[in-house]
Structures are given as C-alpha cells and as structure tokens.
C-alpha cells in the first residue's frame, strides 16, 4: 500500500485532530507526532492531564503500527509519567518499532518537549489484524 495514502488516513483521525495532534513523520514502523499543551488540557493540579499525554503517545503508536497498511490495534499500552510541563509547551511523541511478527508488534513511545526533555515513556503491543488498513483501496 502507498505510504502517502496511509499517512493521509492517519492524519484524518478525528480524535487526534480534536486534540490538535499533528502527524510530523511516518515511515514503516515509526512515527513522530506533536501537540501544543493548552489550558483546556490541564487537570486540577494545573498540569497536563495524563490522558492528553497518553493520547499523544497512543497517536504515535497507532501511526507506527499501522504504517505498513495492515490494520493493527492495541493489545496493551503502559505509560510512565516522568515530568510535567506548563501550558504552551510543544510536546513531541516518537514511536519506534522494537519487534515485528506476523501477528504482533512491540513499540516504544517517548513523549518529550521540543528541547528533548523526557515527559513520558511508553511501551505498546499491537495486534496485526488479517485485513488491510483501508479495505476499499486494496
């Protein structure tokens, strides 16, 4: 499948668009996404809600594990939150494939500030479904 079509499909994710997540890079087995922390993303402690950071890392994970054009869904994702950031911080999450099998893939996601300070670290296992990502195009 044409990777440019897969990139466009990923860019059209409604939830990621709602959060303001942008796809910056995507190649087979890897991706990079970003968002800027807004006031509406804060929790009652005044720091970014963990769900926002998780969603950013998950968007990178989804892009990386679906990058081959084969539908893949999360089986498990775990996250360790390292530090908090203020409103206006641009966060970047990169997903890297660590292992790829016929039915599963293992990915590492790191969420950082643009300066490279670690905010969260994740690992995810994807289940590779036996169907194309975009059935109408295959």
The pLDDT tens digits for 66-82 are: 999 999 999 999 999 99
Q: Do the strands 104-113 and 70-81 form a parallel or antiparallel pair, or are they unpaired?
A: unpaired
Computed over every residue of the chain, the mean pLDDT equals: 96
The domains of the chain are located at 3-137
Q: How far apart are CA 50 and CA 120, in angstroms?
A: 9
More confident residue, 132 or 55: 55
**How confident is the model at residue 2, as a pLDDT?**
86
Q: How far apart are CA 54 and CA 112, in angstroms?
A: 12
pTM above 0.85, yes or no: yes
Residue 36 has pLDDT above 70, yes or no: yes
Q: What H or E segment, with its residue span, contains residue 99? A: strand 90-100
- Return the CATH superfamily for domain 3-137: Hotdog Thioesterase (3.10.129.10)
DSSP lists the bridge partners of residue 78 as: 123
């Amino acid at each position: 499948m044409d990777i440019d079509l897969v990139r466009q499909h990923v860019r059209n994710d409604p939830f990621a668009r709602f959060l303001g997540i942008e796809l910056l890079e995507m190649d087979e087995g890897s991706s990079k996404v970003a968002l800027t922390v807004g006031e509406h993303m804060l929790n009652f402690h005044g720091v970014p809600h963990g769900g926002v950071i998780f969603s950013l890392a998950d968007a990178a994970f989804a892009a990386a594990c679906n990058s081959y054009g084969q539908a893949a869904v999360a089986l498990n994702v775990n996250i360790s939150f390292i530090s908090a950031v203020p409103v206006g911080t641009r966060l970047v999450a990169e997903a890297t494939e660590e292992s790829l099998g016929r039915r599963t893939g293992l990915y590492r996601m790191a969420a950082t500030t643009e300066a490279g300070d670690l905010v969260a670290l994740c690992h995810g296992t994807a289940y590779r479904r036996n169907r194309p990502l975009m059935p109408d195009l295959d």
